[in-house]
Amino acid sequence: MNAPRRKPHPVVLGLILAAVVAASVAGFANNNFTFMLTGAAVSTVFMQSYGLITGRAGVISLCQLSFAAIGAWVVGWANVSDLPGGFYAWLVLGGLAATVAGVLIGLPALRLRGVNLAVATFAFATALDVVFTGIPYPGQGNYDFVQRPAGFTTDSEYFVFTVIVVTVIFIGLRYLDRTRTGGALVEIRHSERAAAAHGISVAKGKLTAFALSAFVAGVGGGLMAGQLGIVTPGNFAAFASVSFFAIALFVGTNNIEGAIAGGVMGAVFPSLLDALGVPQDLAALFFGIGAVQVLRLGGSQTDLMRAKRRRKKAAKMGSLPIPHANPKPLVPIRLRAPREPADATPALEVRNLSVRFGALTANDDVSLAVPKGCVVGLVGPNGAGKSTLINTVTGFTGSYSGQVLLNGEPVDGVPAHRRARMGLRRSFQQLRVPEQLTVGMFLRIAAGKSLSAEEVDEQLALFECPAADVPIETVDVATRRLLEVAGLAAGRPAVLLLDEPAAGHSSAETELLQRRLSEIPERFDTAVLLVEHDIELVRSTCDSVVVMDFGRVIAFGPPDEVLADPAVIAAYLGSAAH
């Protein structure tokens, strides 16, 4: 019997296709056209760099072409100094020099966001403009042109070389998107708080994005040096960085088709205007209008097009494939007697915690414990201070008095992402699941540790979530909430704090959650603090209940006892408890 033939990898196919198309185009194109195409390929590299910093990590950077200028300068200097290794080594060296600049810019920029970050990065771009205008480009005096690599010396051959570099970067980015680092960047863009809650260091993520994007831009600058032979500061002007940023925002250069479209626009559009007798600078105006459109439409052109395609595909598929595991219940719900604490030291202990927002005391001398191996309910009317307690315990409240202990060790002063890594995990009342990820990738990110493909599938089946490769965008809100709990539990944290996980659930979904919540201590060795308004869910899953009102603890104990307490009924439950 013949062994089944292995299909070639799509990336390999893409690489071959790109080289063939580039070689054939180069064969037919005249000099001017080849020059323009090479310019488009170089601009595509700049767009790939924007796709990393802004498209993936959501960080505004207006200095990417300054990193390119550093790459170009280093390649020029290596050429003049006849550095060993030739053009390939110089290109990488240029990228690495730009990476150093990326980290140096990224570090102070970590504390900045939005307009402030835009101003800071633009200031760097203009400063570097001034510096490079003062220093002649290496080789400029003697017309010492950059030596292109052997085999790619003619213009058309060099165009093929630039396409190969673009393709190699696309392969690298594709690989990045499939790693947890790539997923972390997307989560940082979506919600920094959610990222921190999953143990991701937002600072480290942004710095990684700065470093990687600067490397790519530096390589792009080096490529441009090879194209032009000698570059000038005008090739990397701060103003051009802003124009490119606007294009990147408009087309969405985190997507392959967006990066190529952006590269073509950046290189061809100004020349087209020139040919029409319109001043080239007006191109920036068009790009700016495009960028404003993104704010109106809520996404870049390619992001919107991809979303439309996914929705069509999902509609065609009908109901989503949901793997059913039907595992044997570990703990029967409802009839189960409250568990005895597994250990004398509670998994989580809160001592005399007070949080004030101006004149309002949201948490007033709150003390409670979540014993190991138990599910503890936290209930109370709206505004009682439950979410504030979760925020404070997990490190999201700036200042508070009192103490938070994890497995007996104080964690006060420890930032949120480190508390998460130490085993304090939480969900948010307002769902913060990024739609750009697949179900499997989100599960891995929320778990905060590497999971095998089998572990991912098993966990998804347990929580009756869609298959790992389904885009989250096509998943309903209730299932997203289940997915979040599934991901957090998969990380086997010491404590899981869930803020209204049943909000928006149907009765069948609540029942599933009810079963899984009761099992979390046994299955994952995780204690749970459950904030819920669904009293039946609390009664059936919790070993004990804490009741808060006006920021204070007013009762605690076994669910049936506490929920029948007249003071609790008066404060919160009313006649619903009877």
Contact residues toward ligand ATP (CB under 6 A) are 357, 360, 362, 380, 382-388, 429
Least gap, CB of 375 to ligand ATP (angstroms) = 19
288 vs 383 by CB, closer to ligand ATP: 383
Q: Which residues pair with 286 in a beta bridge?
A: none
211 vs 379 by CB, closer to ligand ATP: 379
Backbone angles phi, psi at 489, to 5 degrees: -65, -35
Measured distance CA(499)–CA(194) in Å, rounded: 13
338 vs 383 by CB, closer to ligand ATP: 383
Measured distance CA(505)–CA(2) in Å, rounded: 51
Q: What burial letters (b/e) apply to 187-218, b meaning 16+ CB within 10 Å?
A: bbbbbbbbbbbbbbbbbebbbbbbbbbbbbbb
What strands lie across the sheet with 360-370, from one edge to the other? 360-370, 348-357, 401-406, 409-410
Q: Which residues pair with 379 in a beta bridge?
A: 547
38 vs 388 by CB, closer to ligand ATP: 388
Identity (one letter) of the amino acid at 577? A
325 vs 360 by CB, closer to ligand ATP: 360
DSSP state of 572: I
Measured distance CA(61)–CA(85) in Å, rounded: 32
Closest CA to 255 of 432, 436, 95: 436
Q: 23, 160 in Cβ contact below 8 A? A: yes
Least gap, CB of 377 to ligand ATP (angstroms) = 13
Least gap, CB of 531 to ligand ATP (angstroms) = 7
Token code pair at residue 420: 């998460």
For residue 350, give the H/E element and its range. Answer: strand 348-357
Helix spans in 29-84 (H): 31-50, 64-80
> Which long-range contacts (C-beta less than 8 Å, at least 24 apart) are formed by 307-315?
307/435, 307/473, 310/471, 310/473, 310/474, 311/473, 311/474, 313/474, 314/471, 314/474
Least gap, CB of 280 to ligand ATP (angstroms) = 49
317 vs 360 by CB, closer to ligand ATP: 360
The angle that helices 301-317 and 256-275 make with each other, rounded to 10 degrees, is: 140
Q: 287, 243 in Cβ contact below 8 A? A: yes
- φ/ψ bin of 84: left (φ > 0), alpha (ψ from -120 to 50), beta (otherwise): beta
278 vs 360 by CB, closer to ligand ATP: 360
Measured distance CA(294)–CA(303) in Å, rounded: 10
Would you report the helix, strand and coil content of the chain in percent, each value rounded to 5? Answer: 60, 10, 30
Least gap, CB of 502 to ligand ATP (angstroms) = 13
- φ/ψ bin of 550: left (φ > 0), alpha (ψ from -120 to 50), beta (otherwise): left
Least gap, CB of 385 to ligand ATP (angstroms) = 4
How far, in whole angstroms, is CA 211 from its chain's centroid?
Answer: 16
Measured distance CA(270)–CA(280) in Å, rounded: 5
Helix spans in 318-422 (H): 386-393, 416-422
246 vs 378 by CB, closer to ligand ATP: 378
Measured distance CA(96)–CA(218) in Å, rounded: 7
Cβ-based neighbours of 104, under 8 Å, separated by 6 or more: none
Q: 458, 200 in Cβ contact below 8 A? A: no
153 vs 352 by CB, closer to ligand ATP: 352
